[in-house]
Amino acid sequence: MKRICLSVVGIFLTIFSSYAQSAPKDSLGYKSRKLTFEEANLVTSYYRQDGNNSAVTGGIGTEKLSDYSAGIDVKLTKWDKKDRKHSFDLEAGIDHYTSASSDKVDPNTISSASYADTRIYPSANWSMENPRKGNTIGAGISFSSEFDYQSIGANLSFSQKTKNRNGEFTARAQVYLDQVSLIYPIELRAGGGSGGEEDDDYEHASRNSFSGTLSYSQIINQRLQLMFIAELVKQQGYLGLPFHRVYFADNSDHVENLPDNRLKIPLGFRANYFIGDKVILRSFYRYYQDDWGISAHTLQLETAVKITPFFSFTPFYRYYTQTAADYFAPYRTHTAADSYYTSNYDLSKFNTNFYGAGFRIAPPKGVFGFRHLNMLELRYGHYTRTNGMKSDIISLNLKIK
């Protein structure tokens, strides 16, 4: 993992050095016709979790998992002859996880292929802003790959500001075309489960997701900003995971079976309120409903407190609650009369609490005296779920301008 992180940092520094030297000096009203470096972010995080409801072993057993990730986000800009601003956002991410529960796909091996995996996920986005007309169009592509899952994504967007520039309407469409490797539990494979995971030539199944989002943001006054968000998500294809076991009441062993269609409808509302120059209150609420029987509510509160002009502290809290899917039942509860079945506790009824804090420093002379290192942010969060699952995450964000 250290080699992976060093490689990512090396790529980041190479990209930055290529553009930073050619970036024009700041000058009032200057608009560069050449592609210039705007800013870059290097984000790295460590995540760990534990619990006793692993879907790999039928809703019981360890959920212990750890994940290390690192990502780079580079922003480039240029102005064309019609004074339209073109922005290019190039991202590259990599993470590596180890999972004790995934190793139970084949418990006869010392360490199966599913015990650990590395995922890469590059993406590229472009947008063109026309300041005179107040609109922006955008498009992007993404890719994600790991041992048993590959995904290709694309998006289109359009934004239009109101005449007084205090409101903005945005429409966005996304599509993800995924391929899932059908890695079944060892005892449920053809041929009686002989051989290791690495020797199998797996079949694949498709999973496609289509979504459309409409949002409207409005500046009410100097202190209050609001946003309304409505989304529609349609999924088709293989929507379960082939290595999720389900144990019936007679103790027979089966592979999770879920419908091949799912419709999701999230509705959200966001409000930011500025209390003077030193405190910002950020709030978010979302209602969620799908045709698998899940309804959910999310409430998030965050406060950014500026201790000094260059140092801020950000405590946050998020509460989430959901009902169970129609197809969920715990270990050894399903029967042969059930057409669809899962013991994945992500589809069960539960409540969660996620809370933590972060701090951000952005001194005018650069972090630790490095002029181009514009900002450093460190955040920590602790997550608990009513079924006993818990996790921790710590992340570091460095910004270069």
Q: Is 293 left (phi over 0), alpha (psi -120 to 50) or beta?
A: left
What pLDDT is recorded for position 8?
A: 45
Q: Which own/partner pairs from 295-302 qualify as long-range (CB within 8 Å, at least 24 positions apart)?
A: 295/322, 295/323, 296/320, 296/321, 296/322, 296/323, 297/321, 297/322
The pTM assigned to this predicted structure is: 0.88
Q: How far apart are CA 61 and CA 247, in angstroms?
A: 13
Tokens of 179: 């391929």
> Which region, left, alpha or beta, applies to residue 351 given φ > 0 means left and ψ of -120 to 50 means alpha?
beta
Domains of the chain: 2-23+36-400 (2.40.160.40)
At residue 3, the pLDDT reads 42
> Which helix (H) or strand (E) element contains residue 10?
helix 2-20
Quick one: tokens of 225? 């900003």
Alpha carbon 297 to its chain's center: 18
Q: pLDDT averaged over consecutive 10-residue blocks of the chain (401 residues)?
A: 44 46 48 89 97 94 95 97 96 93 64 71 98 97 96 98 96 98 88 50 93 98 97 98 96 96 98 94 98 98 95 98 98 97 98 98 90 95 97 97 90
Q: Return the structure tokens found at 181.
A: 């490797």
d(CA 278, CA 281): 10
For 201, what's the count of Cα atoms within 13 Å in the CB-facing half-sphere? 0
